[in-house]
Amino acid sequence: MITATQKSPTIQDDSWIASSCALCYGSCSILAHRVNGVVVKIEGNPKSAVGKGKLCGKGVSGIMTHYDPNRLTKPLRRTNPKKGINEDPGWKEISWDEALDEIVGVLAQVRQEDPRKLVIQRTTTVMASRMPFHAFAAAFGTPNISASGAGLHCGNAAHLISGIMHASWSVVPDFAYCNYAIYFGASKGHSAGHASCSNMGLAADARARGMKMIVVDPIANFAGGKATEWVPLRVGTDAMLALSMANVIVNELNSVDRPYLQARTNGPYLIGPGKRYMRDVKTKQPLVWDTAANAARPFSEVAAADMALEGEFIVNGVKCTTSFTKLKAHLTSFTPELAEKVCTVPAASIRRIAREFSSEASIGSTITIEGTTLPHRPVAAIAFRGNQGHMNSTYNFIAVNLLNHLVGAADVVGDAWALILHAKVFRKRGSYAMYQSLMTTAS
Ligand code: SF4
């Protein structure tokens, strides 16, 4: 018997090639075993943090896709312009040179007229395709590029809101440090969801370390099977549950991260009649109340600690109030008792989970990692498909994400983290601002 390392005279080439799996956006690191120019096996690459040497069944079977006799290896041109269910597209194989000449000809013409006329909608599914597309768009001169599932939106608002708030495709608990995670219709790290192989190992380690996992879901599959506590609720009522928890945290426990809300959200922005920001006449910036100067000033000119988070003020003869004050008042209508009727989750459970979440957030705490001291909020509220496979997708996701922002648990150690960073995590005036604007739009 000849092993891979004992080359027979007929084996000229026997190598392991490091690459990455392109069968989903997990992009797990792989090693392809090539013998005499033929890939004979695909394994995970244990030296890489992405997948840590593990692959899912689809990844292992990538070899079948690679050598599928029906795999497309040449460009096809549609010859029948008529489209319809019973129309044969009339695909005709053409050479790569022919295809490239044709495409480049059209692109050159568009670029000459106005590069912005090129709109690129790129796939989300393959990591290897993301950066080249962006580099191409930049080189071409068009800003019009977006990622989209092109109608296959399993994440719906998760992608929209995570993109705006976390510069990310989605959010997951920071498994290495999170101590308390609430999953609203999500299964990340439990044999489903993004970066499946990497996250499964991380989630398993987190559970072994003692991370509590509260799974809010009408059905207890995937994550529910591993949960510390399964909280069943009526389908599609996640926003009501999350807002009633927010109400408890804000109005009953008063357990919010004030410095975070001052520095990182629009909580201190002044809202005038008509539910719009009060703005500085010159700079058009939203105004905040500067407690040191006892006057309204553009937010960029005021130290965060001096911004009034709550209160009513008169600015230029107009009565206004802070955005956070409005949120507090708005949340009062979402009582746990009402949520119990809508969601079927007992009010006592809602209060307990909200209390546990805000208490485990350890507001104000820091942690030192490799000599750097960072904010530490070891809680995360995440959501995904189960939370938003229906018309209230955006409201459900944003209400869940609001929980993180109330306790300052967004893109710091232990909290709800950007799953896939597009470039850099921009610490924006976050989900809270988005919630406010959606609230205004809805009312
Ligand atoms: S999760 Fe599976 S299909 Fe996706 S990149 Fe990893 S091995 Fe490939």
Please indicate, yes or no, whether the overall pTM of this predicted structure exceeds 0.95.
no
Instruction: Name the residue of 28, 43, 199 to mutate for ligand 1: max ligand atoms within 8 A of Cβ.
Output: 28
- Average pLDDT value for residue range 47-61: 86
CA–centroid distance, residue 197 to ligand 1 (Å) = 7
In ligand 1, which atom is closest to the CA atom of 24?
Answer: 4
- The pocket around ligand 1, CB under 6 angstroms, is made up of 21, 23-24, 26-28, 51, 55-56, 58-59, 196-197
Domain spans of the chain, in order of start = 14-66, 94-147, 157-254+331-442, 261-322
Amino acid at 25: Y
In ligand 1, which atom is closest to the CA atom of 196?
Answer: 1
Tokens of 299: 């937010």
CATH of 157-254+331-442, one of 3.40.228.10, 3.10.129.10, 3.20.20.70, 3.40.640.10: 3.40.228.10
- Contact between residue 433 and residue 267 where contact means Cβ atoms under 8 Å apart: no
Tokens of 329: 């008042």
Q: How far apart are CA 432 and CA 191, in angstroms?
A: 31
What number of other Cβ atoms are within 10 A of residue 432's Cβ?
A: 26
| β-bridge pairing 366-369 and 318-322 | unpaired
Segment 228-271, tens digit of pLDDT: 999 999 999 999 999 999 999 999 999 999 999 999 999 999 99
Amino acid at 226: K
Higher per-residue confidence, 50 vs 338: 338
CA–centroid distance, residue 55 to ligand 1 (Å) = 6
In ligand 1, which atom is closest to the CA atom of 20?
Answer: 5
CA–centroid distance, residue 56 to ligand 1 (Å) = 6
- Contact between residue 363 and residue 161 where contact means Cβ atoms under 8 Å apart: no
State yes or no: pLDDT of 424 exceeds 50: no
Segment 162-192, tens digit of pLDDT: 878 877 778 889 999 999 999 999 988 887 7
- Contact between residue 412 and residue 243 where contact means Cβ atoms under 8 Å apart: no
> Which residue shows structure tokens 């005021």?
302
Instruction: Name the residue of 19, 20, 23 to mutate for ligand 1: max ligand atoms within 8 A of Cβ.
Output: 23
Please tell me the residue having the least CA distance from ligand 1 atom 8: 59
Local structure of residue 310 (DSSP, 8 states): S
The DSSP annotation for 386-441 comes to HHHSSTTHHHHHHHHHHHHHHTT-BSSBTSEEESSBSS-----S-HHHHHHHHHHH
In ligand 1, which atom is closest to the CA atom of 54?
Answer: 7
Please tell me the residue having the least CA distance from ligand 1 atom 6: 28
CATH of 14-66, one of 3.40.50.300, 3.40.50.150, 2.20.25.90, 3.30.200.210: 3.30.200.210
Local structure of residue 285 (DSSP, 8 states): P
CA–centroid distance, residue 45 to ligand 1 (Å) = 12
Instruction: Name the residue of 169, 197, 202 to mutate for ligand 1: max ligand atoms within 8 A of Cβ.
Output: 197
- Average pLDDT value for residue range 25-33: 87
pLDDT-wise least confident of 163-172, 254-263, 330-339, 357-366: 163-172
- Average pLDDT value for residue range 388-405: 89
Q: How far apart are CA 331 and CA 439, in angstroms?
A: 11
Confidence of residue 14 (pLDDT cuts 50, 70, 90): very high
In ligand 1, which atom is closest to the CA atom of 51?
Answer: 6
State yes or no: pLDDT of 78 exceeds 90: yes
Q: What is the mean pLDDT of the chain?
A: 87
> Which residue shows structure tokens 């600690």?
305
Q: What angle do CA 29, 67, 32 make, to 5 degrees?
A: 25
- Contact between residue 432 and residue 405 where contact means Cβ atoms under 8 Å apart: yes
